[in-house]
Amino acid sequence: MSKKRERDEYLEQLWYMKEKEDDSIESLKSSMDINYDRDVIEELVFEDMVELKEGAKKITLTEKGEDYARQLIRAHRLAERLLNDVLGGDYESGACEFEHTVTPELVDSICILLGHPRTCPHGMPIPEGQCCRRSSRTAQSSVIPLVELAIGQSARVAYINCKSDQQLHKIDSLCIRPGAVVTLHQRYPTYVIECEGSNIAMDEEIVSNICVWRKPEQSQEDGKETLTEPGRKGRDRFRHRRAGRK
Amino acid sequence: MSEKEKIQRADSGSSRSVKKIAIVGLPNTGKSQVFNNLTGEYTLVANYPLTTVEMKRTGCEINGEQYEVIDTPGLHCLYIHSEEELIVRDMIFKEAPDIIIQCIDANQLKQSLTLTADLLELGFPMVITLNAVDETARAGVWIDSNVLSGILDVPVVESVAVNGFGIKELKSVISRARRGRIALHYDEIVEDGISAIESELPAEMSFKRKVAILLLLADPFLVDYLREKYGQEMISRLQKEVGRLRGKFRGDFGLAINKKRSQWVAETAEKATKKQKMAPGKFSKAFGRLSRHPVFGIPILAFFLVTTFLLVTHVAGFLDKILSVVLLDPTVGYITRLLPSGFWNEFLVGDYGILTLGLFNAIVTILPILSVFFLMFGFLEDIGYIPNLCVLTKRIFARIGLTGKSIMPLVLGFGCKTMATLTTRGLQSRKEKFIAIYLIAFALPCSAQMGVDMAIFGRIGFKAFMIGYGSLVLIELCAGLVLNKIIKDEEKSDFIQELPAIRVPSPKAIATKTYYRLYWFLKEAIPIFLIAAAALFLLDKTGILDLTKMLMRPIVEDWLGLPRDILDVLILAIARHEAAAGLTLKMVDAGALNYVQCIVTVVITTMFVPCFANVVAMCKQLGIKTGLAMAFAINISAFFLAGILNWILVFTIGR
């Protein structure tokens, strides 16, 4: 493991801990497990990325460290979105390495492409980037919220932003999941969408969390053909990659 | 109406030798219909979700063997979303039925297979009944039940439950129920996690694998259940283990597990389904879309309302006349000839006679109205029209603080208020639950009430119907606004409501349903009608009635602007709303009520005292104290608001 990667892993771990409002060095030790290395911490302190408190019992990110970690987390979670839902691949192995190699500009491009997703597939928030605040939408943006479809138009689900596990399961149990074809039937007084032969009425809030591929499907049959293609490709590529590593 | 009691009445002479069959499936897949077909009993069925909110059990004989059959509310999968679903899962875990019949709506094969996967993982002997195959056939979809049966390794029977097709086949395969087979292996790391948790679970526990999976998915209800059963220490240990596993696995267990299952579902469904290239255009689909369209939906609703109104007014009026001529008049004449006057004449056929006000009120006046109304209402229920109303009314409900799950119960309130009150159990937000229960009990007419209201308005014209029901809607909205203001806000619940497909209803099913509703009405209401008439007679004879009328005069005559005899109606309303309406009809016919008085009477009797079963349901949901307080508040508001309406009407249209 390169020095940079090792440091990045620590900073990411500290971000996760911050999300859980945990700042004890013990937790950091236990989650890094055998990879725990005192030297890395000292190095990070020296670079003013982290701060040790209460006689080295507590550890927190400094402002500089936080900015740096935010970039990493953002890239990591966006990559998960891209690989998991959109390409249908095995995200963990890919995403882990992804954030250490990309530039912020590339991360923003992916974010725009995906229509500024707010959460990763696990439901954790994706930190906002410049592009989200400007809510940039270039012509190439191919994933849009379901609410933006025209009435009667069908599209394939790319991914779903969900506020809770419960909600995700509920939506999943109605077969609304990445890859499914949904049709928007009605917008007012409330949204009605069709998925797998059943009509479902729902709030705007939930519909806007469902993101779909922009390209309209000619018919359901054709939609299913193209639907599996990118996913399959993605999966195969990763299978191949993993095999190569072993 | 207390159809609820009918549905709840659960008598099971369960001894160990009797095998248990549980009927489970997604909402609105025909479980209750299969239950009725199997057992020969009757539970209320309709084409929308939430028709069954409680378990129903009964014993029956199938192919010479005794079984106990359990009908259940809808279940999506074993990861729980609502309280109804929780009851079903608890039943499955605790009672471990010997056989599970899963109802699958052939239109929604994929959605159902998710549940199938869960049930197969539990390892119960199963039979699958593939329902509504006539509809998929018409839509150009063909599901090969043999292929499905081959993949799952359990018997699959095709059926059209509403018509009773396929029930013989179902009975014949019940003894061949099998554990089935499912090739669902998760990734290594997930499997390791599952076995790690399994090993922590108590040895005697059943369904360890599924429990472990649900714990990994952080099922909140399951944790509570286990805490109750095995204590906090056990839970802390498990949660620590789950936490450790979650930390170790950088992915999300929920996603990993769901994804594997979805793949299995998609593959299985694809293998079993064949589609024609061209699906015939469907009138019913278009109708469904129109009926919830913001512009076209309203004329459709108005059409149904007016049709029902006209049918109730004219057809029921006609039946009423016939019954009067052949039944009422000859009997009264005969009794009067036999007992020209005196106590017995008055007791039987006087103003408060047990026959005139009791028996004939129920049979001659109310029964024709309810027959016509229930036929129409059953038709609307079975084509699946009613849930579409929750789309039309969504915005209005949002204004009064009802955002998500509480809309459907309110819409169901037009059927039976008691059942609707029970469906609020699934609401997590206390505020929404409170508002929903209040509004259901308040100015919302239940189906029987609406039927008789229409008959009363039918005597004085459609305009009165618009004024009366318009006022009720207005009152209901104001009550909602006020409650929404005074109760503090909580987190909004999500609104995700499946809408049933519009179906061509089976006349036989509607006839059966109407028959049972009328049968329940007669069986339940006639004794109450008789007792109420006798009580009024007694009050009248002892002079208490006159005294009360005199005391209530300022309220009844001055505030409400009604004749003092309306107190009889209000007293009857305490017993049964239909009885009160019957008497009102009689007063209208006798010319005792003018136009405005007629409207005010209908409005006050619709709001005044929610029926007994409804009050019981309110107490059950909110606690006795709150429930009774709410009933009291409703009565006070009923008098207050009806008075205001009276004065507005007097000043606008005059007496």
Residue B15 reports pLDDT greater than 70:
no
Which of the four pLDDT bands, split at 50, 70 and 90, describes residue B85?
confident
**Domain assignment present for A161:** yes
Interior angle at CA A119, CA B398 and CA B238, nearest 5: 95
Residues of B in contact with A26 (CB under 8 A): none
Which of A45, A61, A77 is the last residue in one of the domains? A61
Rounded Cα–Cα distance for residues B492 and B428 (Å): 10
**Domain assignment present for A166:** yes
Owning domain of residue A114 = 66-133
Residue type, B418: T
User: Which segments of B365-424 does DSSP mark as H helices, in order?
Assistant: 367-383, 389-392, 394-399, 407-412, 417-423
Which of A86, A113, A133 is the last residue in one of the domains? A133
Taking only the tens place, the pLDDT of each residue in B117-168 is 888 888 889 999 998 888 777 777 788 888 899 888 999 998 888 888 888 8
A181/A121 same-domain check:
no
Rounded Cα–Cα distance for residues A129 and A126 (Å): 9
Reference B513, options B652, B647, B371, B390; nearest CA is: B371
Rounded Cα–Cα distance for residues B17 and B316 (Å): 51
Q: Do B494 and A202 make contact, defined as CB atoms within 8 angstroms?
A: yes
Reference A61, options A70, A52, A50, A53; nearest CA is: A50
Ranges A92-96, A217-221, B127-131: which has the least confidence: A217-221
Q: Do A173 and B218 make contact, defined as CB atoms within 8 angstroms?
A: no
Q: Do A169 and B77 make contact, defined as CB atoms within 8 angstroms?
A: yes
β-pairing, B156-158 with B273-275?
A: unpaired
Rounded Cα–Cα distance for residues B421 and B159 (Å): 33
Rounded Cα–Cα distance for residues B87 and B402 (Å): 25
Q: Do B497 and A200 make contact, defined as CB atoms within 8 angstroms?
A: yes
B390 interfacial to chain A (CB closer than 8 Å): yes
Shortest distance between the Cα of B463 and any Cα of chain A, in A, equals 28
**Closest-approach residue (CA) in chain A for B390:** A201
Write out the residue limits of the CATH 3.40.50.300 domain(s) in chain B.
Answer: 3-174
**What pLDDT score does B277 carry?**
56
Q: Tell me what the pLDDT averaged over chain A comes to.
A: 76
A173/A125 same-domain check:
no
Write out the residue limits of the CATH 1.10.287.1770 domain(s) in chain B.
Answer: 188-275
Rounded Cα–Cα distance for residues B640 and B636 (Å): 6
Reference B603, options B444, B477, B482, B447; nearest CA is: B444
Query: Cβ contacts of residue B526 below 8 Å, gap of 6+?
Result: B358, B359, B362
Residue B8 reports pLDDT greater than 60:
no
Shortest distance between the Cα of B103 and any Cα of chain A, in A, equals 16
CA atoms within 13 A on the CB side of B367: 24
Reference B219, options B79, B427, B85; nearest CA is: B79
Residue B528 reports pLDDT greater than 70:
yes
Residue with tokens 């359901």: A220
Q: Do B288 and A189 make contact, defined as CB atoms within 8 angstroms?
A: no
**Domain assignment present for A119:** yes
Nearest to B499 among A170, A177, A192 (CB): A192
Q: Tell me what the pLDDT averaged over chain B comes to.
A: 84
Rounded Cα–Cα distance for residues B238 and B454 (Å): 60
Residue by residue, DSSP assigns B169-193 as HHHHHHTT-B---------HHHHHH
A126/A148 same-domain check:
no
B307 close to B463: Cβ distance less than 8 angstroms: no
Nearest to A186 among B111, B114, B293 (CB): B293
ipTM attached to this prediction: 0.72
Q: Tell the CATH topology of B188-275.
A: Helix Hairpins (1.10.287)
Rounded Cα–Cα distance for residues B251 and B187 (Å): 11
Residues of A in contact with B251 (CB under 8 A): 91-92, 122
β-pairing, B99-105 with B126-131?
A: parallel
**Domain assignment present for A245:** no
Residues of A in contact with B294 (CB under 8 A): 186, 188-189
B188 interfacial to chain A (CB closer than 8 Å): no
Residue B13 reports pLDDT greater than 60:
no
If one counts every other C-beta atom within 10 angstroms of the C-beta of residue B159, the result is 27
Residues in chain A whose beta carbon is closer than 8 A to a beta carbon of chain B?
31, 84, 91-92, 96, 121-123, 165-175, 177, 185-186, 188-190, 192, 196-203, 205-206, 221
Rounded Cα–Cα distance for residues B77 and B25 (Å): 9
Shortest distance between the Cα of B246 and any Cα of chain A, in A, equals 11
Question: Number of folded domains in chain A?
Answer: 3
Residues of A in contact with B252 (CB under 8 A): 121-123
Residues of A in contact with B491 (CB under 8 A): none
CATH of B3-174, one of 3.40.50.150, 3.40.50.300, 2.40.50.140, 1.10.10.10: 3.40.50.300
B215 interfacial to chain A (CB closer than 8 Å): no
How far are the Cα atoms of B491, B492, B494, B633 from residue B432, in angstroms, in the given order? 10, 9, 12, 18
Rounded Cα–Cα distance for residues A179 and A160 (Å): 11
If one counts every other C-beta atom within 10 angstroms of the C-beta of residue B612, the result is 14
**Closest-approach residue (CA) in chain A for B77:** A173
β-bridge partners, A193: A184, A200
Taking only the tens place, the pLDDT of each residue in A132-143 is 877 665 545 578
Residues of A in contact with B390 (CB under 8 A): 201
